[in-house]
Amino acid sequence: MIYESDIKNIPEQYRQLFASMQASIIHLTTVNNKLRSMLFGPSSEKHLVLPHIYPVGTLFNEPESILDSEKNEPEKTPSEGTPSDKNPHNDKPKKTSTRSPDSGGRNTFPEDLPRIEIICDLSEAEKICPQDGTVLVEIGRDVVEKIDVKPAEVFVNKYVYIKYGKSGGETPPVKASAVPSVIPGASCDSGMLSFILEQKYLNAMPLYRLEENFSQMNVDISRTSMARWAIQTADFLGDLAFKIKNYILSQKALHADETTIQVLHEPGKKAQTNSYMWMICSPENTHPAVWFQYESGRAGVYAKSLLEDFSGLVHTDGYDGYNKAISENKATRLGCWAHVRRRFVNAKKAGIKGSGANKYKTLAEKFLELIQSLFKNEAEFKAGNFEKSEEHLVIYRKTHSKPIIDQIKTLLDDARIRIPTKNDLGDALTYLHNEWPYLIRFLDHGAASLSNNRIENHVRPFAIGRKNWLFADTTKGADASAILYTVIATAKANGLSVRAYLKKIFSELPALYACQKSKIDFTPFLPWNCTDCLKPQQK
């Protein structure tokens, strides 16, 4: 490859041709490196350090290698049906031991898991000593615990309403009022609804697979019925979901993002045209909450509907569709350093190796080093012995992060003069330059975050689910999905067992709707207030 320093040795009439060839070669090489990285390289932006993979070289044959490494280790627990033979003639009962087979004597299973006791006893004949014929007595017990699972059980709740009346038949018979339910008249109970919604909206299980699973259990529940139940349940949960949105909009800051969703039957649009799921979530140091909102497009008018009259800090990526709504609300837009870092990671991966040709890669690494220092400062503040107020965070950032910001700006201004824009590094520099006013605002706001990763953590599960179910059929279905994702994703973010939380609100809210004439107070049903539904490890 010919570099800039060699062009002076080329005849003048060929220099322009060789310079063009060189630029094409560099561009095609960077594209090739990028594609190879996408196909064969790690997708994470982090440097992979895997000290826990031991012995070395066991990443792809882990079961066999671990088994081989344990062949020479002493048995740590008694095998099934083989009681310990230590002190066999000690008449003092031994203390019962509880252990899992591979735990080295430690009880590794959570204590709150139900235990089913299976007694493994000798026959009456085996309880007779073969030497003198005396009856053997119990001197202790060895307990071996093995984890097991019972697949989902389908059963029918049979509600029997007893009628009363006079024998003459003149008075109409009376009976107990119908038990309030989420979907009056439907043939599914709260447990079935909770299970279906958990599988689809938390575990990304398409309805046709659920239909097949029920069929394997000899139960006929069609995907059409499940889709209808989901839409009706979303109507029931709408008020609760809007309370979650209002909570997000009441904070000093929020995070916003949007992602595509395909709706097959949307008026005025082809089935192949993308629609969008817009999202906002609460910031750090507040209750985790996320709101999903389906819209037919990506224009700024939809951002206005999403943000309503919010006038605080809005974390976004580089999409300008939020600008008009932010400006009209007199809000403050903040940029995302994680998006900047991602572009320089791509530039580094596409860098050309070789003497005289790796300057782009080296420059990308320098930017990454400085950006990583910003994130390191944030982590040190959180972990340090500092007063964790917003005012102290601003002071800390201006002391520790402002000098790094100045270095990045100096490096950016110099690089933009020298680096062509038509490559990955040029793209990263352009993005950094365009977003610069928004990227540096975190220095002045203690409620601001360095990145928009908080909302992206909610986008990612939705995107994974989208790969499974591919599309929504109608706009009504997309709106219903937005409501259900709001409630379920917020419950998950608060460490709740989603199924337990759904069963709670499906059991308690219908009775309130049935008996309360005034407006219902949803505060006790907001996910962060339902501590009785926390997963065991969160309690």
Q: What pLDDT shows up at residue 240?
A: 96
| pLDDT tier for residue 72 given thresholds of 50, 70 and 90 | low
What is the average pLDDT across 373-379?
Answer: 96
Q: Are 244 and 490 in contact (CB under 8 A)?
A: yes
User: Please, how many CA atoms are within 13 Å of residue 405, restricted to the half-sphere of its CB?
Assistant: 18
Closest CA to 231 of 275, 171, 186: 186
Question: Which of 14-18, 205-209, 480-484 is predicted least confidently?
Answer: 14-18
| Average pLDDT of span 398-426 | 91
Give the separation between CA 50 and CA 211, rounded to whole angstroms.
41
- The three-point CA angle 171-174-175 to 5° equals 165
pLDDT in tens, 508-522: 999 888 887 568 899
Run of H or E including 473: strand 472-474
Highest mean pLDDT among 50-54, 57-61, 85-89, 464-468: 464-468
Residue 81's pLDDT is 39
pLDDT at 332 over 90: yes
**160, pLDDT greater than 90:** yes
Q: Are 530 and 508 in contact (CB under 8 A)?
A: no
290 or 417, greater pLDDT? 290
Please choose, from the candidates 461, 463, 438, the residue with its C-alpha nearest in 3D space to the C-alpha of residue 340. 438
Report whether pLDDT(32) > 90. Answer: no
Q: Which pLDDT belongs to residue 258? A: 94
pTM score: 0.78
Per-residue burial over 389-425, b if 16 or more Cβ lie within 10 Å, else e, is eeeebbebbeebbeebbeebeebeeebeeebeeebbb
Between 76-90, 95-109, 345-359, the lowest mean confidence (pLDDT) is in 76-90
Q: What is the pLDDT of residues 420-463, one digit of tens each?
A: 777 888 899 999 999 999 999 999 999 999 999 999 999 988 88
Return the half-sphere exposure (C-beta side, CA atoms, 13 A cut-off) of residue 369: 8
pLDDT, mean over the chain: 83
DSSP helix/strand/coil, 254: strand
Is residue 269 scored above 90 in pLDDT?
no
Q: How far is the first Cα of the chain from the last one, in angstroms, to the nearest whole number?
A: 63
pLDDT of residue 405: 98
